[in-house]
Amino acid sequence: MTRAPLRVGLLGYGIAGRVFHAPLIAATDGLRLDAVVTRDPQRRAQAHAEHPDARVVDDAEALWRSAATLDLVVVATPNRQHVPLARAAVAAGLPVVVDKPIAPTAAQGRSLVTEAAAAGVPLTVFQNRRWDGDFRTVRRLVEAGELGRVNRFESRFERWRPEIKPGWRESAAPDEAGGALFDLGAHLVDQAVQLFGPVDRVYAEVDRRRPGAEVDDDAFVALTHRSGVRSHLWMGAVTAQLGPRFRVLGDRAAWTSWGLDPQEAALRDGRRPGEPGWGEVDPERYGRLGADGDLRAVPTEAGRYQDFYADVAAALRDGGPLPVDPADSVAVVELIELAHRAAAQGVTLPVPPLP
């Protein structure tokens, strides 16, 4: 017997909502984009054109008033609205996906996770870069022992955007959680912890390089994992020549790759999961495994952003695990906060025990 699709309400139709969440929801069997919340006239028109079967409403209150007609809410708004909107969804009894970062502060994130657990409402976080093809390749190589014992993990999410663009990501207001360390570090820190486990110490360099910048646009973070691996993470908007996306150094071999996963660019171009070649990179972009003088190309795993929402649907229908434990995302925010403090003090700081 065919089951009716789960009805999804999407809060926000900016870059996160329009480019990532709406297309992935629409491409997932068992989900239906039922409502989009945005009051911006241009975005309302885009939502109507791109998802004509979804209703478009002005504010979140319209969703809470009709909570019984929905099965899932996705919060894809500016960071300052993540916690209040997710809390409202929990209060309405609606399972909720929150875009990363889960909250502007770890304290707010912990409170949200506790509130959802007490209410018995499923909560997960869109840490989509866990499904990047190059990251999936790193994970496979590490788990298979192809590199031997990993000593250092290098990861870069760099851009060349020397001009400041208007928008909340460039605002110094603390509740916006703007800047490169929050925006890009939320991916890089999460990936490092997923690969190599909990962190003991954090060192960071966080700078504002562009004239007039209110938030950090150039950051480096060094994590010392309990496992002994050191993760070196670069992120920013002022990199005129990009470094390797990943360089992973082990005692048997290293693996290096270049360029970002292609899924975001494909979504921006209107492509969708399920199309031929989705998430694949050309063979000339395969990473290289080995030691200098003895390198071989290793096929890059296909990126699979679609798996996030497939796992969400399976969890809500059949009780399977949610794709991202929200406690993981709170831990990422804790490390970002610690990195900011370490940079401000010019020291390496220990990670405090869990509260």
> What digits encode the pLDDT tens for the residues 307-355?
999 999 999 999 989 999 999 999 999 999 999 999 999 999 999 986 6
Single pTM value for the model: 0.96
Q: Where in the chain is the domain with CATH 3.40.50.720?
A: 6-126
Is pLDDT of 110 > 60?
yes
- Whether 251 and 151 have beta carbons less than 8 Å apart is answered as yes
Write out the residue limits of the CATH 3.30.360.10 domain(s) in the chain.
133-303+335-350
CATH placement of domain 133-303+335-350? 3.30.360.10
Q: Which helix (H) or strand (E) holds 150?
A: strand 150-158
Q: Please report, to the nearest 10 degrees, the dihedral formed by the alpha carbons of residues 111, 344, 101, 217 taken in order.
A: 160
Supply the pLDDT for residue 142: 98
Q: Given this structure, which CATH class describes domain 6-126?
A: alpha beta
What is the Cα–Cα distance from 307 to 292, expressed in whole angstroms? 35
* pLDDT confidence of residue 176: 86
Binned at pLDDT 50, 70 and 90, residue 245 comes out as very high
Number of residues written out for the chain: 355
The gap from C-alpha 74 to its chain's centroid, in whole angstroms, comes to: 14
SS3 71: coil
pLDDT in tens, 2-16: 688 999 999 999 999
Query: Does the pLDDT value for residue 1 go beyond 70?
Result: no
Those residues with Cβ within 8 angstroms of residue 158's Cβ, 6 or more apart along the chain or in another chain: 234, 235, 236, 239, 242, 243
